Amino acid sequence: MIFSVAAFAILVTISLALARAFMGPTLYDRILAINMVGTKTVLLIAVFAVLSGRTSMIDIALTYALINFIGVVAVLKIVEQGNFFTSGDDDRAK
């Protein structure tokens, strides 16, 4: 019973974050909201895994956490420097 309460709370948080993602004025608000949705989805998968007893699903949550982090950093890199290829800081000064 407690897990359904927790899952509902996580869904409420995700909907709040999605609302912020839609109406966020700046681009960085959107990235922040999507980062939050990603972390909450990790928790939702973990709660659902323990709720249904299928503990092998926790690997999915772990993989999702890894991918969410890489995704946020990748989006930030392409937003800030415009491309993936220059690894140095040379064109940040522009």
Partner 1 sequence: MILLEITSWLFITTGALLGIAGGIGIHRFPDFYSRLHAVGVTDTLCAALFLVGLALQTGFSLASLKLLLIFIFLFFSSPTATHALADAALMGGLKPLLDEDNGGNDLDRHSD
Burial class (CB in 10 A: 0-12, 13-18, 19+), 55: exposed
Give which of 59, 17, 9, 8 is closest to 38, Cα–Cα.
17
Assess 50 for contact with partner 1 (CB under 8 A): yes
Assess 20 for contact with partner 1 (CB under 8 A): yes
Residues in contact with partner 1 by the rule CB under 8 A: 2-3, 5-6, 9-10, 12-13, 15-17, 19-20, 26-29, 31-33, 35-36, 39-40, 42-43, 46-47, 49-50, 55, 58-59, 61-62, 65-66, 69, 72-73, 76, 79-80, 92
